[in-house]
Structure 1
Amino acid sequence: MSLAILKKLISIPFWIINILKKPEKREQPIMVAPSFDSKEQKLKKLIWLDDNINPMDPRMDWLAYSPVGRNVDVIWVKSLGEFKNWIKQNGLPDAICFDYDLGDNNPTGYDCAIWLIQYCQHNQLVLPSWASQCTNPLQKATIKRLLKGFVQETRST
């Protein structure tokens, strides 16, 4: 039965009949955003810089400090040496959470932030997202001021 006969026999709204038509051939493919299977989707990497606090401790939601969310691959480093080694071997992570105090007589999270800025400058890289879980507000502000200053400086140049 042809489409014209069908239109005459049944009073169906025109838009429904258009749905029944065969799709037109297109010259160019339609680009669709890829869909990811949750198992295949790559997790963002978060460096957790802290000598004491385990970011996966179930007693506290430490990943609430993560600037890229809670569904992340966490790399827990406890010192400037571990921090530098991981970045040199793997490149920059998607985000970093800084603590200030990394133990007695050890370089601080602030020292790690200074090294990170120098690394980004030397390699012409953009600073990853960052936050601080430091409980001392003055130390937290010191790291924040340093990193924000660098971001503002790189935007103006």
Structure 2
Amino acid sequence: MTSQDVPDIAPRATVRRSPEPAAARLVRALVDRRHRRWVLLGGLAFAALAAFGVYASVAGPPPRIEAVVYFTPTATDAQKDAVRAACPTAGQAVQEARDHNTAQSSRVYPLRYNVTYASPADKAMIYRCVHAQPNVIGISEFTAGE
């Protein structure tokens, strides 16, 4: 065997591992004077975003809450109109106007109440009146955005 038959084996490069954890390196980089401007700008942006989030959730209008009346499948339009006439607005539970579109949901659920600002007593009056009517299955509340 000659020296030409033996491949040259180069020594392996050793990888040095840092003995400190990543969190310590991050803290050291954040307190470094060279990065102070970017750390302050990032902190200021985070504080502004947090303040805006608190303002939007506290100062914004409440979500719209709507109560929808469910009728039996055999209920006619005249029976649905009778329930609408028998159970008008009660306090802050406001009966919404009938939809004048051709959507299927408007024909199936023609009676809705805006109960966003209604007290529990107002809601109870509406629920009691609606449940006393024939061909009514029930009533459900929906919050906008859910």
TM interval, short-chain normalised: under 0.3
TM-score, length basis structure 2: 0.25
* Structure ranking higher on relative contact order (CA contacts 8 Å, 6+ apart): 2
